[in-house]
Amino acid sequence: MTNAPIVVPDLHGRADLLTALLATHPGRRFVFLGDLVDRGPDAPGVIAQIRPLVERGQAVLLWGNHDHMLAHALCYEDGEPRPRSHAQLGVRHPETLAQWPTLQAAQQDMAWLFTHAAHWHREGDVYFAHAAPHKAGNWGADESPHHLWARPDDEFQDGRAPLPTGCTRAFHGHTPTRLLRPDGADEPFQMTWEDGTTAHYLDCLAWATNVLVAHDLLTGQLTKVGGRLLSNTILS
């Protein structure tokens, strides 16, 4: 895949780890798998760094379930701000909202998400979505779309939605890989489904472990950044 992107899982407010990743790969393209907000200390700083990349065509941004919840709590789907009372009651993580200097500043960032974030993305035979392949249905407010919320356990029980025709690989965040790996390690995990497609799960809980793991589709390497750690590991 020419000019293949680096795939970045859930950042959850870790602007510091994103800064380190971007510094390590200047000029590269990125696909962000969503969940920019909640849990970590600087969601506005994450969005501030991703925004110019998306606007100049250097990155694709996908919705995460946490982004989806916050955006719908603060804004209508056309980007117009909701009343302050609704915003204050609808936000599930008020500590995240407090990271912006004003409610209006948070609403402006969420309005930007409504115009720039995608629900899923495809490049060649590779499919990207936050949690799982998308299904038809209502993806708006008060909904829990499959591609934003489903975990492999749900898919084993209910069936995994098919990838778009021609796609053979998928990349997801959302599900902490320690829940999928037999060894419980915070490392990426690859799973082969009954239809022969593979899924790569990348959420290694960067917000808690201080290590962000991204997958470079150009080199087939994992890039890890965090604190003083900086290394590359060839994928098996």
The more confident residue out of 2 and 143 is: 143
pLDDT in tens, 125-155: 999 999 999 998 878 777 789 999 999 999 9
At 121, list the tokens.
Answer: 């993305």
Question: Tokens for 131?
Answer: 């949690």
- The conformation of residue 37, written as its DSSP 8-state character, comes to S
pLDDT tens-digit series, residues 174-217? 999 999 999 999 999 999 999 999 999 999 999 999 999 999 99
Query: Which pLDDT tens digit goes with each residue over 22-61?
Result: 999 999 999 999 999 999 999 999 999 999 999 999 999 9
Tokens of 81: 């701000």
pLDDT at 234 over 50: no
- Residue 65's pLDDT band (boundaries 50, 70, 90)? very high
| Average confidence (pLDDT) over 91-102 | 93
Whole-Å CA distances, 148 to 49, 64, 90, 186, 203:
23, 6, 18, 21, 13
3-state DSSP percent of the chain in helix, strand and coil, to 5: 30, 20, 45
Please give the Cα distance from 14 to 226 (Å, whole number): 10
Is the separation of the CB atoms in 123 and 3 below 8 Å? no
Q: Domain 6-234 adopts which CATH fold?
A: Purple Acid Phosphatase; chain A, domain 2 (3.60.21)
Residue 169, judged by CB atoms within 10 A of its CB (0-12, 13-18, 19+), counts as: middle
Which pLDDT value is given to residue 227?
A: 55
Question: What's CA 31's distance to the chain center, in Å?
Answer: 8
